[in-house]
Amino acid sequence: MVKDAPIGVFDSGVGGLSVLDEIQCLLPHESLLYVADCGHIPYGEKTPAFILDRSRRVAAFFREKGAKAFVIACNTATVAAVADLRQDYPDWPLVGMEPAVKPAAAATRSGVVGVLATTGTLQSAKFAALLDRFATDVRVITQPCPGLVELIETGDLSSPALRVMLQGYVEPLIAAGCDTIILGCTHYPFLKPLLAEMLPPTIILIDTGAAVARQLQRLLSDRELLATGNPVPAQFWTSGDPEHLRKILPTLWNFPGVVRSFGL
């Protein structure tokens, strides 16, 4: 692997852009490739076998492009695919992500933590293990959010439909006394402005994008693979409609980028 090779970042859709942004800000010399599997969204309601198959196709695509590292910027794909991908590519720096239970358990003062995530993430054995490990002294209220990702994918982050749905998902968490809410899906950080309107100001929101960027930095630095040159603008591929991604990209991504079709 060469230092100036790109980094591949993957999500079921545009959610991983919240992670891509953290990577871009922390590692501005890196060239970034991003695959949004919008043609198969939402992953939250798909089987682990289906998601593993999609993740393997994307991994093979990034390998072909010479990516020096792979970031699964999706909690749902991580639980379904990260273990197999690590076996497939034992020497490839690979970063997955999971809901931030440990920092949330450390941050809560009320002792009640809420988790907003997809059904797939919340039902996984990996999430259960995370709770067993880090949430022994706190009460955790989980809230699956079917439908939310599809509304975020429209690119309208303040639509009436989105407000109503989000309100319905956060109300039980507020009622249960949560003072800390984990955003356990990479799409949800885009809802922070809406959540700020809906939640009492004392509630802390925790997501893992910045931690993932730091972990990527550590892995690359350990292998002396951090880029030093001038990066090429981010390249995006979508298995959905490239025109739609081109249209909504400027609301979700503050840097230049080229969008193409992903046909695998």
Our finding on whether 239 is near ligand DGL (CB under 6 A) is no
Residue list 112-141, contact with ligand DGL (CB under 6 A)? 118, 121
- Helices 48-64 and 75-88: crossing angle in degrees, nearest 10, is 60
Cβ neighbours of residue 170 under 8 Å, at least 6 residues apart? 114, 116, 143, 181, 195, 198, 199
Tell me if 58 sits within 8 A of 10, measured CB to CB: yes
The tokens describing 131, both together, are 């709770």
If binding is defined by CB under 6 A, does position 74 make contact with ligand DGL?
yes
Q: Which is nearer to ligand DGL, 73 or 227 (CB)?
A: 73
Active-site pick, 38, 145, 178, 185: 185
Q: Which is nearer to ligand DGL, 221 or 251 (CB)?
A: 251
Which tokens hold the place of 259? 């969008």
9 forms part of the interface with ligand DGL (CB under 6 A): no
Any contact of residue 11 with ligand DGL (CB under 6 A)? yes
Q: Which listed residue (8, 9, 10, 15) binds ligand DGL by CB under 6 A?
A: 15
Residue 74 bears catalytic tag: yes
Residue 41 lies near ligand DGL (rule: CB under 6 A): yes
Q: How far apart, in Å, are the Cα atoms of 173 and each of 53, 164, 182?
A: 34, 15, 11
Return the C-alpha torsion angle 17, 125, 167, 164, nearest 10.
Answer: 70
User: Interface with ligand DGL includes 43 (CB under 6 A)?
Assistant: yes
| Closest distance of CB 207 from ligand DGL, Å | 10
CA angle 120, 122, 124 (to 5 degrees): 65
Measured from the CB atom, the residue of 68 and 187 that comes closer to ligand DGL is: 187
Size of the site for ligand DGL (CB under 6 A): 17
Q: Which two tokens stand for residue 56?
A: 């393997």
Length of the chain, please?
264
What is the H or E stretch that residue 31 is in?
none
Cβ proximity to ligand DGL, 180 vs 186, nearer residue:
186
Annotated binding site for substrate: 11-12, 43-44, 75-76, 186-187
Site for ligand DGL, rule CB under 6 A: 11-13, 15, 41-44, 74-76, 118, 121, 149, 185-187
Task: Give catalytic residue positions.
Answer: 74, 185
